[in-house]
Structure 1
């Protein structure tokens, strides 16, 4: 008898991806044939893991559900299930609007999803995942939820308050991932800065990094999503001295104008932000900072926007992304502030920021020509073997395109010399 087939489709962020990987493993243990993000048909069940972060992400999730609803009508799939952040926040509305969906599950309904397919749930294997990324890197979600109160953000309404996982469970999962061949570990959470406070009474991010860095097989540890407010300073000596910890920090600042920061409820000022950046760069020479900005926030004046542009030009962030503000119902900003800028004006501001950043990135990349870097090999694209430095996170940052006839395997660490540069990517040859 052929195994029943399940496809899990993931929308949104890497934190959702980890949830999908856990579900895939549980179902595979239940003797299902499982795949991730497949475009095929003929599945007994499809789970759409939705995103509810901003308007565009929510719309993409809805469109994906509708696509599979049509596939179900055509008889190409049997059962359609919806899970994740959008379902967590809008389950009642979705049930009314999308009767084609067989069942909706919230973000934390893993057992219910497994039970729905009449599979035995194994909580003792919750740390095991079916890795869907390239086999040499994986995400490690160290906590769920957020205690921050940023006025533009609806994430706490979907994830609840911050809940750290124990250090012991994360070390166990790291060992499991290392045995699977993972060399690069990307620590993720809604807020890494808060890790451990709820369990241990104080931040334990530094201790966690120390313990997982001792796991044999792990070569790089990368930190994503730290807040500038109450930043855990004790991680800086570790980044400086531990060769396994990438000199890379993902530090979303959102803005720099004090009036905008105040209305965003970020609980930090421009002066405090600049002092933090200076200390990070002083304590960790060579560190690369990735940040995210939010433009078009209600009340953002031309002067506020000009201040942000000047700050970006002066600071020269190595990595930067930008979002135009979108009103989220139920948030402080959505309820209290009048959103006067049009979507077109917000997008124009976002485009202007990215033009500035494109120039900065090109300038910084040119300075790398002639220098040597260690890179991890990701894949092959045409005539090039593609890798990344410790300063580049997969799927969001630039790549190193290596010219060589030598065979290099995924996950292999090699030293290269930079021979050329584009705005975001680098060209290199083996040393």
Structure 2
């Protein structure tokens, strides 16, 4: 019983009832146009005085409504109304104007159904409640008799008066049932008639995929640049604190490296955030590359006290810009992993070479113990794998038999861009 009451009179049913009443209100101008046509066609001067003529006017007005539904704003407005009043999820609806022939046909069918069902339910909502109220209150006026109230003579009988309130309540329930049924049908048909076409769904999926790709790229850039800077600055500050009294020269170098690291990172951060600001152009700082900042990256890492050995058997100036940029980020993340997991007391070996048409990057450091855990885990190795895969390359990372941890990346010199 409670479930049935919620279906007929719950919040969702009431909102769908409002949606139908709005459809009836939208149908009224078309009904008036229909009366202008039906009146002269039938020779009647009082169309509203005849229920069959009213229905005929309603039937003539609906095709006119279907034609006017081709206006661009019809589908966005109807979709918004369906979302808020019928409880249909927004991702199942299309909020742009109908452009293709199929979309226009579906929009016209929906508009006709909305106004058709809405006109019927709105008319019932105007006529049924007063009639039901008369039936419910009829026993109070039993002495007047049904005929004196303009009602059928059968209501003069006692049994009819006793059943009149029940009949009145039943008509109200029937009205609620009709409204709930029509509202449920419209909510069910809305995604098919107001939803995106297969082409629209494909375009939306492609747009979401492109947006996700941009977000992932920005996340990798932020992780690699900011994560490396924080790791390096933390170790530089820690090393400077330990030798603050005994080695002032090292402290000055560490502070200078911290200043340079933070300045460069702020520039990179501004460049990445510039992509997020709608309407902004690229950031003020270009993305770093092997050709532009490999030496600076190695020197800033060494400033923390980490012993970094670099073997460069490739000409960074000869690398394609995209390859040089991604390779720089891979080396940067490899150094960041070494700093985070083993600190500054071990040596890190970096090797960059070109062999067999591929750029080979190796970052290796000794394993001094179990890697410290990080809250939430890290995403550096996953980002490196993503960068390598997007360029058509491969990456591996893990411990070796020589008690070292090795990051090994191969990037084709002419991979997919």
TM range, normalised to the smaller chain? under 0.3
Higher RCO, 1 vs 2 (CA within 8 Å, ≥6 residues apart): 2
Q: Which has the higher strand share?
A: 1
TM-score normalized by structure 1?
Answer: 0.21
TM-score normalized by structure 2?
Answer: 0.21
- Asked which structure has the greater CA Rg, the reply is 2
